[in-house]
A and B are shown apart, each in its own frame.
Chain A
Amino acid sequence: MKQLSIMVDLDRCIGCKTCIVACRNHHGLIDHEYDMPGEIPYYLRVESKSEGKFPEIKEDSWVVMCQHCKKTPCAKGCEEGAITKDVQTGIVLFDREKCTGCGECVEKCPYKVIQFNEKENYAHKCNLCYDRVTHGLDPVCVETCLTNALTFGEKEILLMQADAAGKQVIKKLSAQSIVYVKTP
């Protein structure tokens, strides 16, 4: 199966959120004049986990965006057929024209990444920067990541790269098309 993907390297993600703001700017997700904190949509979010007791502490950070799932629970939930998995790229795409704003996909997404525009009544989310990647560019988050923690490419190739670098795939973060890796 064809699948474009982003590999998130936990050895390098510092949780700085640069990617979030870059993605918002690129996709016009913020009204710079009027948006208030807590009300701005986002296609990525940062998660982190720390373990241990002072002074033996470990902490990892990573980003979560649409996982471009193999079996697309969001698409299954959408009766209008507004959500499709692109056969050329494996990208899960939303068709705003077909979206009636029922919000079913938001409920169905196990990763809680689908955004909802209340004002104009439609759902939206990361499209893996479809308009960029189909023209040979990296997704915006990948290009701007402060630490180069993100790599874009075909999933199989990314997995080979991770293997060659001695990194392990962290299955519990996502078994979908975004690949999380870390040096064991």
Chain B
Amino acid sequence: MSGDGWIPTVCYQCKAECAILARVEGGVVKEVKGNPRARGKACVKGMAGITSLYSNERLKYPMKRVGERGSGEFERITWDEAMDIMETKLTELRDRGEAHKFTYSMFPHSVTDPKWRFVNACGGFISTGLPHCDSAKIMAHMHTFGCFPNHHIAPMYYAVPKGGLMILSGRHPFGCLDDACVPSHILDAKERGAKLIVIDPIFRAEAAKADWWIPIKPGGDAALFLGVSNYLLANDLYDKEFCDKWVQEGDMDGLKAHLKDMTPEAMSKICGVPAGDIIKLARMAAEAPSACIDAFKSIMYGNGMDWGHAWSIFLVITGNLDNPGGQPLPEIAPMAPVEPVPPAPDVTELGYHRTGPDRSQFDSYKFFLQPTWYAAQAIKDDTLKVFFASECNPALSEMGSGEWRKAVTMKDENGDYKLELLVVTEIMPSETMKWADLVLPDQTNFERWEMLYMPWWYNYGHCAALCQPVVEPIGESRHANRVFIDLGKRMFPEYFAFKDDVDYYDIELAGVGMSVKKLQENGGLWSPGTVGFRKYEDAGKFNTPSGKIELKWNMYKDIGREWPSPELPLEYRRGEDEFPFVLVNFRTIYLNNTGAWSQNNAQLRDPVSGLDANPCLLNPIDAERLGVKSGDVVTMESNSGQVKLPVELTEKIIPGCAGIIHGFGQTMGKVACRGSWVSDNELISDAGTTLDEQDLRGGEAHVTTRVRIYK
């Protein structure tokens, strides 16, 4: 422990992992602020992190389930017992030749996360584990310009020049999921004369500051930008020089042919944006010195891959790759491997859990992550037997959470649970914990060691930040990384020969000439401080198989998906009569939607400092048709579930849509379970209902569904 004063560490109230300073006085954290060495800001969740640390609901001891799964009844056990339970089950699984039927759902803080190492050492796992939301974007960027998976990486707003366009498409950067300094950087860029364009069915904080708010039909982003691209090509307004030099031969002609009929007029019919506005956007993009797009919710639709493809095409034909104000191509800092490295599972051989009618079609997409919804399918199929979860919340905050909850309570003919062991690490009660066999008390970011190596980090693109304990841990809590290093030492000593987590980080940091101690001495951060621009010019190539930008995705030739389709996702195109509204679920700055830490945080759930209610937002035009007024309680129903909630009328939502906030509905915890709050995921059935199409379009319907509403 470093004593009193302002101590650098890293926030983990959400996955942005901002570098912060914590003020410690007499062994107690009193205040938090952004670390100025990292252009420091911390958001409201980060500030309220102290309330999570000192909540009297902190889990303090390991616990074992005593009632049925889902009853939430536990008894206290020792850490030794907990370790024995996990070791016994995993060893048994391996001895049965089923080691791959173990999966760990987590958010790896870096590719070097020791939990991930543990999973690999276990001998392969079925790839249902990682919760993820924008893998369609990652895959699209990789396919097109070989960009390293830049999960959550935002355009570098601090680099947007005067006149540059910042386009947010279903994205809420003022909600801080990239880095808490992003909102001020966007506003600074605006003050420099950049333009902010917000494309969203709901008018939110970004739209309030935007130069132009473009309301759109949910899922219409691909159509909108294909229309823009059509106009740019048809009118010779694209960056010809850039394309001639960098785009794979033949692709521009192919693109022109593919986009021929996707005129602004034709696309307007799909996305609901007037053709004149599509043309205006295209002209603005052609005239601007730079344009970038940031999208998030819109990439989580069943047509996410089409949108990712259309987005990539737009960036390429406007020449906005790795230029100031365009799409950054991140670099990876050379962390040292901790030898010997356990081999990663061969997912091609072990398979994914995609369970569409024609699995082979989906398999061609080569996703490296799959949503945990597939875990439910895998449990039913007896291909998943042990499930661990850290910093994620499949019982509540992922699509098809109902499916998941059902699956984990399914029993075989002997009356045993089909899923043999469910382990959850948590810092305070979460919905998922209710179903766990084993609950391991985790540590907050104020109590643990962790090296955050983030190739996607906003500030400099690549860096290392040190999360260090600033106070003594509460109870017997142990950080998940330390737990799985210890379990690794028991089970796979060859792969866990280092001393502890700090030693592990030291080895990795040696790759950049750093160590934990040096990081401590230097304000908790390491970064070369630059990512540079147009790195492909220095390299003379892009990181694709051809070395050129590949607009045409030849790898999907067999399934006829070389070019993007403008169609809305199937979930929106069918069932319109029965379910007239499109559900738009959105996030806010007050919630890290997966974590019990922000759902059950007194300051974040306070009506003055956070968010206290989750009403259904409706446009007055729709409300009048339904005969409802603000405050009326309505039933909202999809083809998979229903919830009851009050209505709030607002001009801020596009007619035909119903808005609710994602991440509510927790029934555990004194603060979280107050009031009639509902979870959107009760309504979002699962990807399963439209898999026939998603298998073709490579999307995952995290957020897409239609609903009906009645009093």
Cα distance, A59 to B207, chains bound together (Å): 9
Q: Least Cβ distance of A50 to chain B in Å?
A: 7
Q: B-side binding surface: helix, strand, loop or mixed?
A: loop
Cα distance, A58 to B184, chains bound together (Å): 20
B619 at the interface (CB under 8 A from A): yes
B33 at the interface (CB under 8 A from A): yes
Report whether A144 and B54 are in contact in the complex, using a CB–CB cutoff of 8 Å. Answer: no
Report whether B652 and A57 are in contact in the complex, using a CB–CB cutoff of 8 Å. Answer: yes
Report whether B205 and A15 are in contact in the complex, using a CB–CB cutoff of 8 Å. Answer: yes
Closest to B44 in A: A18
A38-B612, A54-B653 known; 10 new pairs, CB 8 Å cut-off, are A14-B174, A16-B183, A18-B43, A21-B603, A22-B31, A22-B33, A34-B56, A37-B612, A60-B208, A143-B33
Q: Least Cβ distance of B522 to chain A in Å?
A: 23
Of B53, B183, B612, the contact of A14 (CB 8 Å cutoff): B183
- A22 contact set on B, CB distance < 8 A: 31-33, 47
Report whether B207 and A57 are in contact in the complex, using a CB–CB cutoff of 8 Å. Answer: yes
Closest to B36 in A: A143
A70 at the interface (CB under 8 A from B): no
Report whether A42 and B609 are in contact in the complex, using a CB–CB cutoff of 8 Å. Answer: yes
Report whether A54 and B603 are in contact in the complex, using a CB–CB cutoff of 8 Å. Answer: no
A36 at the interface (CB under 8 A from B): yes
B616 at the interface (CB under 8 A from A): no
Identify which of residues 597-622 in chain B touch chain A, using a CB-to-CB cut-off of 8 Å. Answer: 602-603, 605-610, 612, 619, 621
B284 at the interface (CB under 8 A from A): no
Interface string of A55-71 (1 = CB under 8 A from B): 10111110000000000
Of B43, B174, B203, B602, the contact of A30 (CB 8 Å cutoff): B602
Report whether A36 and B671 are in contact in the complex, using a CB–CB cutoff of 8 Å. Answer: yes
Q: Least Cβ distance of B304 to chain A in Å?
A: 25
A25 at the interface (CB under 8 A from B): yes
In the complex, 12 of the A-B residue pairs with CB atoms within 8 angstroms, ordered by the A residue number, are A14-B174, A21-B48, A32-B51, A34-B56, A35-B602, A36-B671, A37-B610, A40-B606, A54-B203, A55-B213, A59-B207, A146-B44
Report whether B671 and A17 are in contact in the complex, using a CB–CB cutoff of 8 Å. Answer: no
Most buried by A among B32, B42, B603: B603
B711 at the interface (CB under 8 A from A): no
B667 at the interface (CB under 8 A from A): no
Cα distance, A52 to B213, chains bound together (Å): 13
Tell whether A148 pairs with B184 under 8 Å between CB atoms, given A21-B48, A25-B50. yes
Interface residues on A, range: 35 or more
B473 at the interface (CB under 8 A from A): no
- B213 contact set on A, CB distance < 8 A: 55, 57
Report whether B215 and A55 are in contact in the complex, using a CB–CB cutoff of 8 Å. Answer: yes
Of A15, A28, A32, A144, the contact of B33 (CB 8 Å cutoff): A144
- A16 contact set on B, CB distance < 8 A: 43-44, 174, 176, 183, 205, 589
Identify which of residues 671-696 in chain B touch chain A, using a CB-to-CB cut-off of 8 Å. Answer: 671, 674
Report whether A144 and B47 are in contact in the complex, using a CB–CB cutoff of 8 Å. Answer: yes
- A24 contact set on B, CB distance < 8 A: 603, 609
Report whether B602 and A40 are in contact in the complex, using a CB–CB cutoff of 8 Å. Answer: yes
A33 at the interface (CB under 8 A from B): yes
Of A26, A37, A61, the contact of B606 (CB 8 Å cutoff): A37
Most buried by B among A14, A15, A42, A53: A14
Cα distance, A25 to B29, chains bound together (Å): 9
Of B31, B41, B50, B619, the contact of A146 (CB 8 Å cutoff): B41
Most buried by B among A33, A146, A147: A146
Report whether A33 and B55 are in contact in the complex, using a CB–CB cutoff of 8 Å. Answer: yes
Q: Least Cβ distance of B498 to chain A in Å?
A: 35
- B30 contact set on A, CB distance < 8 A: 25-26, 28
B180 at the interface (CB under 8 A from A): yes
Of B33, B48, B56, B208, the contact of A59 (CB 8 Å cutoff): B208
Closest to A148 in B: B184
B655 at the interface (CB under 8 A from A): yes
Cα distance, A20 to B44, chains bound together (Å): 8
Identify which of residues 1-60 in chain B touch chain A, using a CB-to-CB cut-off of 8 Å. Answer: 30-34, 41-44, 47-48, 50-51, 53-56
Interface string of B335-379 (1 = CB under 8 A from A): 000000000000000000000000000000000000000000000
- A37 contact set on B, CB distance < 8 A: 602, 605-607, 610, 612, 671, 674
Tell whether A14 pairs with B209 under 8 Å between CB atoms, given A21-B609, A37-B602. yes
Of B184, B610, B652, the contact of A17 (CB 8 Å cutoff): B610
Of A26, A146, A148, the contact of B43 (CB 8 Å cutoff): A146
Cα distance, A146 to B347, chains bound together (Å): 42
Report whether B174 and A57 are in contact in the complex, using a CB–CB cutoff of 8 Å. Answer: no
Cα distance, A54 to B655, chains bound together (Å): 9
